[in-house]
Structure 1
Amino acid sequence: MKIAVFGANGYQGKLVVAELARRGIEAVLVGRDPVRLAQAAASVGLDDAEKRVATVDDHPGLVKALRGCGAVVNCAGPFTPSGAAVVRAAITGGSHYVDTAGEQLYIKGVFETFAAAAEAAGVTVVPATTDACLPADLLAHLLAARIGPLDELAGTHVIVGGGGPSRGSLRSVIETIESVRAGGLAYDDGAWRPGIPARRSAVTLPGEPGATPVARFPLPEVVTVPRHVAVRHMEGLAEAEMVERLNSPVPAEVVASLPEGPSEESRRGQRFTYVLDALGTDGRRARGVVRGADTYGTTAAIAAESACRLVAEPAKAGILAPAQAFDSLDFLEYLARRGIRWSIEEQQVG
């Protein structure tokens, strides 16, 4: 099995390459700079790994670079300006595709642009195979199975520690700052809509004595979950302090001078909590919770596992949400073995 990693020389890309190597999977490192690809391979102890040079503005060259690989993991953010080119090349070359995108409008665009082409080519495309979107998407599927059609679903993200974002994450925020400042899309009455006020200003996290202030945020699972869960309204929220920081991003000219990403020690000290609060149409309530450490390392494990699963057990061709491509319970149990805790609790009403 060969799996291509596009953007292999970046911070997230190197983590994915290392994760594939840990599993004994042959990774093909793809990027635009041969020197940086060689440095990336050396940094993860894979000097002899296959390296292929390609750019997003050379479609034939990119198709050639991805050809022969069972799947492609695209780690080259920001995805909004360049991700579609990699999706297109993967479909043309017959490789399944996953990515580490969190950019809400880009993910929505993949679903709307490439469905017919992917189906015709027999290729499965699963965007947003990340620490946040994939577990939340799978958990939402199980929540709906527990309490039936949903009147309302609210996703909340809280991340503590971690040493700060990578350069790629900062550039993604800059690229999508208008969406971030506007709070992103909500799903309401059958359509994704901007500008819908949040229904919550605070959320009480599990085990916490008080409520955490939250604000609207363009979470990727708001785009994926309504594709397989019957829900009337879904919104994305994040800790208000984090949203405020992201609303004033680091200037683009400063990003290049910053560390490539957080240290391994900082990542180990990071903690994330993702909560899904569901209200069924019959009035029942349930809460799903995902907790873990190291968002970047977790994303590497999720993206690598997703690519391997698509190659080993092909899903339906087309553009799929995680819960449409993978068995929700089985994948969450895999994550539990990696230290990612998850739970669903039905809550008493009245």
Structure 2
Amino acid sequence: MKLAIYGANGYQGKLIVTEATRSAEVILVGRDAARLREAAATIGLPEADVRPAAADDHDALVAAFREADAVINCAGPFTPTGAAVVRAAIAAGRHYVDTAGEQSYLKEIFDTFGAAAEAVGVTVVPAANDACVPADLVAGLLAERLGPLEEISSIHVITGGGGPSRGSLRSVIESMDLIKAGGLGYDGGAWRVGIPARHTSIILPGGSEAVPVAKFPLCEVVTIPRHVQVRHVEGLAEAALSARLSVPLDPAIIAGLPEGPTEEDRRTQRFTYVIDAVATDGRHGRGVVQGPDTYGTTAVIAVESARRLAANPAKPGVLAPGQAYDPAGFLDSLLPHGVHWTIEVGGDFGVASLDVRR
């Protein structure tokens, strides 16, 4: 199997290349040949296949992607350039995933490329990152157990890990207006900004005190309603994180920051993603995904996403993770990487445990 990795010289890109080489051949694609070769040497792949291609060079992208079985795009921010890479992957007839976390970009890909991908038999799964994939898959499993849902709330809490990468901060700039507005919510069959939050605090697994949360533009708000029968979906993050990311960022300052957190910082990071569901009959369910190192976990999930599409193609089109992959099977593939998941149903989220992964 061969994977083309666009943006391979970036912080997230190098992590993905390293992960991909455990099970596949790689093609390193990006706009600067010298930086690609430098990245390849840093990773320990001095003879790597390097294909320079800017995002606006459609023919060069198509030529590079045709040499692979699937494409992974990790060149953020995605809002200005991601659609061009998706278009090239479809033109090359290759399955596509990306690591985007920009909610408006994600909705654009679903709204724009479904018919084109279907026409050539290509599957596109955007937002194949540490949060959207497991949250979307867990939401699907909750719906299987609870039936039609009144609401789903997805809540992100991240501790430790040093600062974000430069690429992540540039993506924040692209999403600043949406972050300040609380992001898109889903209600009554439509996505829109300005839907009031139904929850302002959460008691985390193992905790006893409520943690303040605020609306936040999470990608799973866009993906979950595409395969789950639900009336209302909202994304929430710890209020302190939302407040920090709502402060305007100076691009010149970002340019002077480290490329990303150190390996030691990443080892100290922990994430908890809670997916709370309420069925139309009033029953409650909770899914929890916990693990280390958001950047390392994103690399694992992006590679696993592309590998699965190449080995066992899903139906063509732009799909949510829950439409493209077996939920429990995919989640279980993350266990060796320290990512654990649980699902419980009951009035207090613990009365009846239906499925547990430790």
- Shorter chain as denominator, the TM-score bin is over 0.9
Task: State the SS of the aligned residue for 1:79.
Answer: coil
Letter in 2 for 1:233: H
Q: Following the alignment from structure 1 to structure 2, what is the Cα–Cα distance between the partners of residues 168 and 306?
A: 21
- The correspondence of residues 1-350 of structure 1 with structure 2, limited to 5 A, is 1-23=1-23, 25-348=24-347
Q: Following the alignment from structure 2 to structure 1, what is the Cα–Cα distance between the partners of residues 291 and 43?
A: 24
Q: Following the alignment from structure 1 to structure 2, what is the Cα–Cα distance between the partners of residues 138 and 206?
A: 19
Q: Following the alignment from structure 1 to structure 2, what is the Cα–Cα distance between the partners of residues 275 and 40?
A: 35
Letter in 1 for 2:5: V
Q: What do residues 154-186 of structure 1 show as CA deviations (whole Å, max 9, x unaligned)? A: 000000010110000000000110011101111
Contact 1:170 1:249 in 2 (8 A): no
Q: Following the alignment from structure 1 to structure 2, what is the Cα–Cα distance between the partners of residues 177 and 136?
A: 23
Q: Following the alignment from structure 2 to structure 1, what is the Cα–Cα distance between the partners of residues 131 and 266?
A: 15
Q: Following the alignment from structure 1 to structure 2, what is the Cα–Cα distance between the partners of residues 307 and 249?
A: 34
Contact 1:28 1:51 in 2 (8 A): yes
Contact 1:8 1:31 in 2 (8 A): yes
Shift of 1:250: 2.9
Letter in 2 for 1:91: I
- Larger CA deviation: 249-258 vs 114-123: 249-258
Task: State the SS of the aligned residue for 1:80.
Answer: coil
Unaligned runs of 5+ in 1: none
Task: State the SS of the aligned residue for 1:85.
Answer: helix
Unaligned runs of 5+ in 2: 352-358
Shift of 1:36: 0.5
Shift of 1:249: 4.0
Q: Following the alignment from structure 2 to structure 1, what is the Cα–Cα distance between the partners of residues 103 and 161?
A: 23
Q: Following the alignment from structure 2 to structure 1, what is the Cα–Cα distance between the partners of residues 339 and 308?
A: 19
Which residue is 2:355 aligned to? none
Contact 1:162 1:269 in 2 (8 A): yes
Q: Following the alignment from structure 2 to structure 1, what is the Cα–Cα distance between the partners of residues 244 and 347?
A: 36
Task: State the SS of the aligned residue for 2:21.
Answer: helix
Task: State the SS of the aligned residue for 1:258.
Answer: coil
Q: What do residues 178-214 of structure 1 show as CA deviations (whole Å, max 9, x unaligned)? A: 0111011110000101101111111110011201100
Consecutive aligned runs of 4 or more in structure 1 exceeding 4 Å deviation: none
Letter in 1 for 2:9: N
Letter in 2 for 1:162: G
Q: Following the alignment from structure 1 to structure 2, what is the Cα–Cα distance between the partners of residues 236 and 180?
A: 11
Letter in 2 for 1:310: L
Q: What do residues 52-101 of structure 1 show as CA deviations (whole Å, max 9, x unaligned)? A: 00011111121112112110000000000100000000000011000000
Q: Following the alignment from structure 2 to structure 1, what is the Cα–Cα distance between the partners of residues 64 and 173?
A: 29
Q: Following the alignment from structure 1 to structure 2, what is the Cα–Cα distance between the partners of residues 47 and 98?
A: 26
Letter in 1 for 2:146: I
Task: State the SS of the aligned residue for 1:153.
Answer: strand
Q: What do residues 273-308 of structure 1 show as CA deviations (whole Å, max 9, x unaligned)? A: 000110000110000000000000000000001101
Q: Following the alignment from structure 2 to structure 1, what is the Cα–Cα distance between the partners of residues 250 and 242?
A: 16
Q: Output the aligned Cα RMSD.
A: 1.0
Q: Following the alignment from structure 2 to structure 1, what is the Cα–Cα distance between the partners of residues 281 and 94?
A: 43
TM-score by length of structure 2 reads: 0.96
Q: Following the alignment from structure 1 to structure 2, what is the Cα–Cα distance between the partners of residues 343 and 249?
A: 36
Task: State the SS of the aligned residue for 1:81.
Answer: coil
Letter in 2 for 1:2: K
Letter in 1 for 2:68: C
Q: What do residues 130-154 of structure 1 show as CA deviations (whole Å, max 9, x unaligned)? A: 0000000000000000111100110
TM-score by length of structure 1 reads: 0.98
